[in-house]
Amino acid sequence: QSNLWFTELQNENLSIGLRIEKTLHSEVTPYQTLDVYETKQYGRLLVLDGCVMTTDKDEFVYHEMLSHVPMHTHPNPKNVLVVGGGDGGIIREVIKHPSVERAVLAEIDGAVVEASKKYFPQIAAGLSDPRVDVQIVDGIKYVEDHPDTFDVILIDSTDPIGPAVGLFSKKFYESVFRALKSDGVMAAQTESPFVNQELIQNVMRDVRGTFPISQLYLAHVPTYPTGMWSFTMGSKVHRPQDVQTCRVQNTRYYNAQVHHASLALPQFVKELV
């Protein structure tokens, strides 16, 4: 078997390694480097700037949890915006909700969308749905330009370095608040409580300072740094604790019990936020 390994250096003291069967694609886009590998353990792997974005085998955890927890928190989400998320995984989950009339994807890098369609057809499937509007634009600007428009906004970003830095700022959360309708809900991916404590603290402080209701929640994503992953939700009116039933079918991770379980924070995470 091949002796080629993909290694993501997650910080200066930590890495994850996956044996590669084949390199399927490598390019330098105007925004970042983009690689697609075939791995033994997790199937196809999408990498941006050296960081694992998603794999065939564990993508469902992240995509279901970043979407269904906030989507269920809203009683009737019709208009949804995904910022980033060019692979289409979040969009695929969003359109499982029967209430959704329109889902906009605002992705800055068209190369991610193209690579996903080609190498991750199951993840990208939703992008061709008639309710979906794929915009290759700067998400920050798109959010600023659309006040009072969305029921739910989901921020599926890369790490807070490179093209995504601006997506982790108080200014951006304030502009997300304005782009949401009067009972809107937002959620963002916010890294690992084992390695990114400061980031989580800052985001929680900023979201708490912007939205009347805020909530950190967790899921287990094996290929992300430490496997313990956090998401931060901000809501104007609706509480994630009030969700009673699961409104979507065909999930592999999310259900009503997992919804509530994800809101329960281990003591060290509770003390962080």
User: Which residue number is nearest to ligand AG3 in terms of Cβ?
Assistant: 51
Under the binding rule (CB under 6 A), the answer on residue 85 touching ligand AG3 is: yes
State the Cα–Cα distance between residues 65 and 54, nearest whole angstrom: 14
| CA-based nearest residue to 223, from 63, 29, 13 | 63
156 part of the active site: yes
Region near ligand AG3 per CB under 6 A, out of 18-26, 49-57, 102-110, 233-241:
49-57
Under the binding rule (CB under 6 A), the answer on residue 52 touching ligand AG3 is: yes
Under the binding rule (CB under 6 A), the answer on residue 18 touching ligand AG3 is: no
Under the binding rule (CB under 6 A), the answer on residue 61 touching ligand AG3 is: no
State the Cα–Cα distance between residues 273 and 268, nearest whole angstrom: 9
Binding-residue pattern over the window 94 to 133 for ligand AG3, x denoting contact by CB under 6 A: ----------------------------------------
Are 233 and 36 contacting, i.e. CB atoms less than 8 angstroms apart?
no
Tell which one of 70, 77, 89, 163 touches ligand AG3 (CB under 6 A): 89
Tokens of 39: 């791995």
Binding residues for ligand AG3 restricted to 175-204, rule: CB under 6 A: 189
Under the binding rule (CB under 6 A), the answer on residue 158 touching ligand AG3 is: yes
Under the binding rule (CB under 6 A), the answer on residue 156 touching ligand AG3 is: yes
Residues recognised as catalytic: 156
Residues that bind ligand AG3 (CB under 6 A): 8, 10, 51-54, 85, 87, 89, 156, 158-159, 189, 224-225
